[in-house]
Structure 1
Amino acid sequence: MASSTVNRWLRPEVYPLFAAVGVAVGICGAQLIRNICINPEVRVTKENRAAGVLENHAEGEKYAEHALRKFVRNRAPQIMPSVNNFFSKPQI
């Protein structure tokens, strides 16, 4: 019984599926860890929960304006701009 299950799921055809699911789980895990560790609105310890609502706008701004957002802010929303320009702009 176990041998047939292994033979069914461990084929080379399903490796891309495992990779895609693994990447998705990794992204979700990274976001979960990021929110638990550095989100100013999440309080895990009892002492921090007792503090109530904090008006710390600087910490919230630092959390929202992370490095990836700063990196892509002034860039064109394209994945491959050179290929897009090649096919969309007329060549003279």
Structure 2
Amino acid sequence: MASTASRWLRPEVYPLFAATGVAVGICAFSLVRHICINPEVRVNKEGRAAGVLENFSEGERYAEHSLRKFVRNKAPEIMPSVNAFFTNPK
């Protein structure tokens, strides 16, 4: 046990733990989002018995979330000032 702990709990391994933690966090967020608020997923028995619902407003609310509304009219650039500097010479 001591050799395993000394092998994996070194400062060089911390970035690996951080990257794995971020990936697990993103997966957990996606899973919870889809299970809890996706209109096509029904967890309880009554919801599954309802069959296919034609509820387009709920589906549109799910698809058009606040992040998508925020970036809709933005330019698809990561660093617009750097792009403008190199594309518009003086």
TM-score by length of 1: 0.90
Tell me, in whole angstroms, the C-alpha distance in 2 between the residues paired with 1:10 and 1:87. Answer: 45
Give the match for residue 63 of structure 1: 62
What's the CA shift string for 1:3-52, capped at 9, x where partnerless?
Answer: 11111111111111111111111011011001111000000000000000
Give the match for residue 44 of structure 1: 43
Pair 1:6-2:5 in alignment? yes
Q: Mark the runs of 5 or more structure 1 residues left unpaired by the alignment.
A: none
Deviation at 1:84, TM superposition (A): 2.5
Tell me, in whole angstroms, the C-alpha distance in 2 between the residues paired with 1:75 and 1:13. Answer: 39
Mean CA deviation greater in 8-17 or 54-63: 8-17
RMSD across aligned C-alpha pairs, in angstroms? 1.1
Give the match for residue 32 of structure 1: 31
Runs (4 or more) in structure 1 with deviation over 4 Å come to none
Deviation at 1:53, TM superposition (A): 0.3
Percent of residue pairs identical: 76
Q: Mark the runs of 5 or more structure 2 residues left unpaired by the alignment.
A: none
Aligned length: 90
Tell me, in whole angstroms, the C-alpha distance in 1 between the residues paired with 2:58 and 2:30. Answer: 18
The letter for the 1-side match of 2:50 is A
The letter for the 1-side match of 2:21 is G
TM-score by length of 2: 0.92
Mean CA deviation greater in 71-80 or 50-59: 71-80
Pair 1:72-2:71 in alignment? yes
Give the match for residue 15 of structure 1: 14
